[in-house]
Structure 1
Amino acid sequence: MIAINRQGRVVLRGLCAMVLLLTGACASLMSDMDPPTVSVDNVRSLPARDSGPRFEITLRVANPNKQALDIVGISYTIDILDRELVSGVTNEVPRIEPYAEETVKLEAGINLFEMLRLLAELGQKQGDTLDYRFAAKIDFKGLLPTQRVEERGSLSLN
């Protein structure tokens, strides 16, 4: 059995109150946070290296919030027909001021095996569209949780 004197109980109550206050503050901070908008601005081919074809992808990141975004890093994938073809990461992200946008460049590579599987599948596929998915994971400095942004659609082959 643990015995706590009056002074210890006061300290314990104070710590509990502080934890509850911080938890409430974090919850209210996160509930007001809208996810950033991420779109592809440009894709440029880079010289091939040992790992195969590489691309420089320029993303446009818009901050629809009243607070600036300090981003630690972004990872990005492009899927076609549920095959992850392109992926990349960067930790060189500028601070994005409230209601502003910035461009972020990242280097991405192609998954050659998935590309070959996709090409084989396209030879057998009947249809005029390709389904795609862009997905970005954004990690923030501080207490903000990781945000995931996704866009899905179809590309017409005609």
Structure 2
Amino acid sequence: MSTLMRLPVFLFALLLLSACASLQPEIDPPKVSLESFNALPSEGGAPRFEIKLRIANPNKQAFDIAGISYSVELQGQELISGVTNEVPVLEAYSEEVVTLEAGLQLFQLLRLLTGLGMQPTDTLEYRFMGKIDFKGFVPTQRVEETGTINLK
């Protein structure tokens, strides 16, 4: 193919790619807040927890969520983590409560308790991280919330 013929093909491909990129609507990340956190009855293994998250969709389109992965850190130690694919469709401008089941990482808890024993503190730094994967062409949304827990 001659150089003269390659230029129109290249320009057409560039135009097609830019058109596809502009078709994706602007999406605000979902708002996630903790609804409740409860211990589940132990079945001989590591402790398990039920976490209820309230997820709000601040967009004009519904979201079909493929799955959510999440973790909770205290003082930089990841203590709780889990995943779920049992999430209802989030209609436009609506909220849903999603129930998650999470496991406690015992070795990380022991490290945290050991560290707190060596350097007592009045506050604990926490960090919640979540990744929400959508079905279709909606990009993955990452949610992070940080703060402190006052122990006094």
Q: TM-score range by the shorter chain?
A: 0.7 to 0.9
* Inter-partner Cα distance in structure 1 for 2:63 and 2:77: 31
- Give structure 2 stretches of 5+ with no counterpart: none
Computed over aligned residues only, the root mean square deviation of the Cα atoms, in angstroms, reads: 2.3
The structural deviation recorded for 1:20 is: 2.9
The structural deviation recorded for 1:88 is: 1.0
Query: 1:79-119: per-residue Cα shift (whole Å, max 9, x none)?
Result: 00000000011101111111110010111000000000011
- Give structure 1 stretches of 5+ with no counterpart: none
Answering whether residue 14 of structure 2 is matched by residue 20 of structure 1, we say: no
Secondary structure of residue in 2 paired with 1:115: helix
User: Which letter does structure 1 place at the counterpart of 2:21?
Assistant: T
User: Which letter does structure 2 place at the counterpart of 1:35?
Assistant: P
2:83 maps to 89
Answering whether residue 115 of structure 2 is matched by residue 121 of structure 1, we say: yes
Query: 1:38-67: per-residue Cα shift (whole Å, max 9, x none)?
Result: 111112222224541111111110111111
2:32 maps to 38
- The TM-score with structure 1 as length reference comes to 0.85
* Inter-partner Cα distance in structure 2 for 1:13 and 1:98: 37
The structural deviation recorded for 1:120 is: 0.6
Q: Select which of 61, 66, 69 maps to 2:60.
A: 66
* Inter-partner Cα distance in structure 2 for 1:115 and 1:10: 61
